[in-house]
Amino acid sequence: MTIEELNIILAKGEDTRTEYKQACTKVPGSFYDTIASFLNREGGVIVLGADDNGNVTGIDPSSVEQMKKDIVTALNNKDIINPSVNFPLYKLEKEGKILLCLKIPVSSQIHSNKGVIYDRVNDSDIRIEDDARISDMYFRKRNTFSESEILKHLRLEDLDTRLFDKTRAVVRAVDSTHPWIDADNMTILRDSQLYRRDPRTGEEGFTLASALIFGKDEVIGSILPAYKVDVLVRIKDIDRFDDRIQPLRTNLIDTYQTIMEFIKNKPYLPEKFYLEGDQRKDLRELIFREIVGNMIVHREYTSAHSSELVIYKNRVEISNPNKPLFKGVLSLDAFSPYPKNPTIRKFFSEFRWTDELGSGIKNVKNYLKIYANGAKPIFIEDDMFRTIIPLSCPTFGDKAEKIVAFLGLEKENISANTLYELCQLSLLQKLYEIEDTDMFLFQKGLSWTEKGSKLNNLRIHKINNIEFDDFQKGVSLAEKGRKLLSKRNITLLSIITICISPIKIDDLLNILEFNSRDRFRELYLTPLRQSGFIEQTIKDKPNSPEQKYILTEKGKMFLGGFEI
């Protein structure tokens, strides 16, 4: 962990995946409760040496080494954390004070602290004792890795021997001493845990992962009849497609190579070279090697939904069936990766088609910045994992959720589609380049009111002369928003934000807790329509019960900070 990551973590506040604990000379007792709850829920980061507000309190320098030993001992003691775990401890200095940080991944097992099971709810560690909730937790965890399922009736002759020869050729190209080069087929399968024995049940055999990697097409089809991967181009005709690969229902090795050949041999995604050290490399290949590899490795293969990669004029979008452990936009600077198909990932890493867990997202972020003039990828964890790769103008990305919180909107009241649309909305380059969350929101608020005050219909007033230092003092993003914006301004901006996807007036009233429909129309909807920011979806039937409101292109420009 770097000091930059620590700064981001301390600035965001405690939540489901972040915890601060004061610890001067010894590890606080609640520390291990949080470890168990993070393991049982979504993983997270614990910072020792900070108070509940993220202020650095520090650890006594003379106690640091003993605290580190105590933590390592406890994590390996089943009487404390069971099953035992092992994580690296990071020692960092900030403001002349020492902190200890742990990054805790989500676990496929249920963990307890001194015999008690904990779960994470918001920013609290909840003791779980009733059978129903414990059962729910086990249900959530079971079969976390469906790739490991042993298929008792799958035989060696169901696998395509051609793919073993291809495997040897690929590993030979990346490592001339690789042991698989001279290994027989069964040795490759056993080494990569594609043939295994379950010590709990005594079952032994080929796994679902072995069928996916080496299976004949008809075998894969009989095991997973709904499985397919679509690759489409929608540049001229976005409602249909301009070009495509025939739906792929084949093994993962051929699937990966077919998609990469399409990307490299078609004109839709241009080459762009740069020097990495003294080597000339194709950024397009570096980016999409990670994207395609992750699409294959992290998919939930038991889902009936297909994987889809669509090339548009200004972006590439990938949607992938997923078994989420949380929902929302991944923070590119402070996310904790976790494996979804570790056996398949490990196999592909032998080919150098995937890298160390979590490095793919970081690589895409770094290479895309060069390939697309500072653009950032967007990764949205949900039942369908979505990846958006902008090819031109930057987008809101992970700033979308911060805008929602800044306006005081409850995230659970915002539809997944609304958040998705906001994530990929174009954002003014100079706003996009602001890394600090508070500074971004401060400048965004100034931009909104400056531009909005020029529109008489909206009656948006310029902000009083509030200083950035005073703005920063807000405990939550919503409090900062109330400092910077009037109640009317917040309501107008909330409507514009929510209307990025079509919504009925009744749903708007519920989200914004507004009672009078007529007053709401008069104060907000009518001025926004007159300003050309929103419009009705059924223009010829204004009073239709199915009528909805949606943001116009002018409204999108305003929301993104552009001149209108």
> Does 408 fall in a domain?
no
- Of 443, 420, 448, the C-alpha closest to 558 is 448
Q: Per-residue DSSP letters for 267-290?
A: SSS---EEEETTEEEEHHHHHHHH
- 167 contacts: CB under 8 Å, gap ≥ 6: 180, 188, 253, 351
Q: Which CATH number characterizes residue 132's domain?
A: 3.30.950.30
200: pLDDT confidence band, cut at 50, 70 and 90?
low
List beta partners, residue 282: 273
Answer yes or no: do 7 and 96 share one domain.
Answer: yes
Q: Which of 94-108, 134-148, 335-349 has the lowest mean pLDDT?
A: 134-148
Q: Which CATH number characterizes residue 344's domain?
A: 3.30.565.60
325: pLDDT confidence band, cut at 50, 70 and 90?
low
> Does 404 fall in a domain?
no
> Does 417 fall in a domain?
no
Answer yes or no: do 340 and 244 share one domain.
Answer: yes
- 518 contacts: CB under 8 Å, gap ≥ 6: none
312: pLDDT confidence band, cut at 50, 70 and 90?
very high
Answer yes or no: do 79 and 156 share one domain.
Answer: no
Residue of 144 and 52 predicted with greater confidence: 52
SS3 44: strand
Structure tokens at 101: 């940080």
Q: Which of 45-49, 188-192, 249-253, 462-466 has the lowest mean pLDDT?
A: 462-466
Number of domains in the chain: 4
State percent of the chain over pLDDT 90: 50
Sign of CA dihedral 380, 381, 387, 389: positive
> Does 407 fall in a domain?
no
Q: Which CATH number characterizes residue 525's domain?
A: 1.10.10
- Which among 173, 206, 223 is the end of a domain? 223
The amino acid present at 212, given as its one-letter code, is L
pLDDT at position 494 is 95
Answer yes or no: do 219 and 291 share one domain.
Answer: no
pLDDT at position 335 is 62
CA–CA distance, 537 with 524 (Å, rounded to integer): 17
Answer yes or no: do 110 and 211 share one domain.
Answer: no
- Whether the link from the prior residue into 83 is cis, omega within 30° of 0, is yes
CA–CA distance, 27 with 133 (Å, rounded to integer): 29
Answer yes or no: do 359 and 256 share one domain.
Answer: yes
Q: Whole domain around residue 327: which residue ranges?
A: 229-399
> Does 409 fall in a domain?
no
What is the pTM (predicted TM-score) of this model? 0.57
- 519 contacts: CB under 8 Å, gap ≥ 6: none
108: pLDDT confidence band, cut at 50, 70 and 90?
low
Mean pLDDT of 496-519: 93
> Does 415 fall in a domain?
no
Answer yes or no: do 233 and 366 share one domain.
Answer: yes
Distances (CA, A) of 443 to 149, 431, 440: 51, 7, 5
H/E element holding 197?
strand 195-197
Question: Beta-strand (E) ranges in 24-162?
Answer: 44-48, 81-82, 89-94, 97-104, 112-113, 116-121, 124-128
Answer yes or no: do 31 and 123 share one domain.
Answer: yes
SS3 452: helix
Is residue 339 pLDDT above 60, yes or no? Answer: yes
Answer yes or no: do 90 and 70 share one domain.
Answer: yes
String of b and e for 536-549 (b: at least 16 CB within 10 Å)?
beeeeeeeeeeebb
Alpha helices in 126-269 (DSSP H): 131-141, 161-174, 185-191, 208-214, 217-223, 252-265
- Which among 223, 238, 258 is the end of a domain? 223
> Does 421 fall in a domain?
no
Answer yes or no: do 371 and 253 share one domain.
Answer: yes
Structure tokens at 266: 């078609």
Q: Per-residue DSSP letters for 325-353?
A: SS-EEPPTTT-----SSHHHHHHHHHTTS
> Does 42 fall in a domain?
yes
Is residue 152 pLDDT above 70, yes or no? Answer: yes
Answer yes or no: do 120 and 193 share one domain.
Answer: no
- Which among 141, 166, 190 is the end of a domain? 141
Answer yes or no: do 111 and 243 share one domain.
Answer: no
List beta partners, residue 315: 390
Contacts 24+ apart (CB under 8 A), 227-231: 227/301, 227/306, 228/306, 228/307, 229/255, 229/259, 229/295, 229/306, 229/307, 229/308, 229/309, 230/306, 230/307, 230/308, 230/309, 231/259, 231/262, 231/308, 231/309, 231/310, 231/311
Cα distance from N-terminal residue to C-terminal residue, the chain: 42
Query: What are the backbone angles phi and psi of residue 315, rounded to the nearest 5°?
Result: -165, 165
- pLDDT tens digit string along 404-413? 999 999 888 8
